[in-house]
Structure 1
Amino acid sequence: MKLLGLSGSLVGWKTNVAVHNVLTAAKDLDSNIETELLDLRDYEVEFMNGDPLAYYNEDTWNVVNKVTSADLLVIGTPIFQASISGALKNLFDHLPVDAFKGKVTGMVTNGAIDKHFLVSEYQLKPILTYLKALVPTTSIFIHEDAFNDVNEIIDKEVSMRIKMLSEEMLFLQKCLDSK
């Protein structure tokens, strides 16, 4: 089983760290799971203009294929102006409508304003369900105060929620796979 962590930020490291922590927690729960962190800052995903995927550059093609070939995913994004990152939305626009069918897809967001936890439920979750994802009941919003100066998560409650999300994701995916 392959768990892909997607960091949908082009700036800063908090989103990357948060997604990496979910991947590590999942690996701690099941040492047989294969994990990979895909950080959008490492790729030049072209802006979606409506053309078929074959018309885009190799990075765009590779990122879309990594996302669609994963067995389950955790998607992380910073919250800017009460919205997911533009880079992540652009990637979603490249995906087929059933990209996440039969895949558990967890959500991890981070930001500076407490109310931005609502973005997961009211913006990101509808996009994921449109793409046919099974979204766990546990989602994580990490306020910037939960990180120290070197972007490590120092809030024990956040670490506990990361473990809970990993447990729920693996449980749900194993249930789906056993059908």
Structure 2
Amino acid sequence: MKLVGVSGSLIGEKTAIAVNEVLKRAKDLEPRLEIELVDMKDYEVEFVVGKPLEAYNEDTQTVIKKITEADLFVIGTPIYQASITGALKNLFDHLPTNVFESKVVGTVTTAGSEKHFLVADNQLKPILSFFKAITPTNVFVHSSDFDSNNVIVAEEVNTRIDTLAKELIHLHTKLKL
């Protein structure tokens, strides 16, 4: 069973840190779980222009392969201008429409404004619904929930991360019975 986390940010590290926390806590709950973080800033994913996947660069093909081979997911994005990142949207445009079908996909959003806490419900979950994903709890992490070393210190956020990790494992297990 493989859990892939995607950090849809091209700069900074808070989103990747938050997604990775979910991955680690899920692994603590299910030691047989294989986890991997796909941090978009580490890859040169080309813009979608309508070519077959094989015509895109190696990084694009690698990221798509990692996602298509996974069993469950955590998708994370910072919120810019009240929306998900362009890098994440571009990644979604590369994916086959059945990639998340009947698979559990948790979401993590990070932002500097509390006003952005509903972006996951209003933008990210409808996209995942198009892909036929099963979407449990979203974890919203405000910039102030991190300390100066970028460690998540807000107790409420850590509780939500634990809850998401539990939901991912529980729902995936139930779907596989």
What TM-score do the two structures reach when normalised by structure 1?
A: 0.97
> Percent of aligned pairs with the same residue?
55
Q: Tell me how far 1:28 sits from its aligned partner.
A: 1.0
Cα distance between partner residues in 2 of 1:158 and 1:118: 15
For the residue of structure 2 that corresponds to 1:60, the secondary structure is helix
Residues 68-87 of structure 1: CA distance to partner in whole angstroms, max 9, x if unpaired? 11000000000000000111
Which residue in the other structure is 1:164 paired with?
163
Alpha-carbon offset, residue 50 of structure 1 = 1.4
TM-superposed deviation, 1:132: 1.3
What is the match of residue 11 of structure 1?
11
Q: Which aligned pairs between 1:24-173 and structure 2 lie closer than 5 A?
A: 24-136=24-136, 138-173=137-172
Q: Which amino acid aligns with 1:120?
A: A
Q: Distance in 2 between matches of 1:78 and 1:59?
A: 22
Q: Distance in 2 between matches of 1:164 and 1:118?
A: 18
TM-score by length of 2: 0.98
* SS of residue paired to 2:9: coil
Q: Secondary structure at the match of 1:5?
A: strand
Structure-2 separation of matches of 1:121 and 1:139? 8
Where 2:126 maps in the other structure, the secondary structure is helix
Secondary structure in 2 matching 1:16? helix
* Unaligned 5+ runs, structure 1: none
What is the CA-CA distance between 1:150 and the residue it aligns to? 1.5
**Residue 177 (structure 1) aligns with:** 176
Could you tell me how far apart the structure 1 residues matched to 2:113 and 2:24 are? 26
Aligned length: 177
What's the CA shift string for 1:81-121, capped at 9, x where partnerless? 00001111100000011110121000000001111011100
> Hey, what's the Cα distance between the residues in 2 that align with 1:9 and 1:63?
14
Segments ≥4 residues shifted beyond 6 Å: none
CA displacement at 1:29 relative to structure 2: 0.7
CA distance in 2, matches of 1:151, 1:89: 25
Q: Deviations over 1:41-64 (max 9, x none)?
A: 111000111111111011101101
Paired with 1:36 and 1:169, the residues of 2 have a C-alpha distance of 15
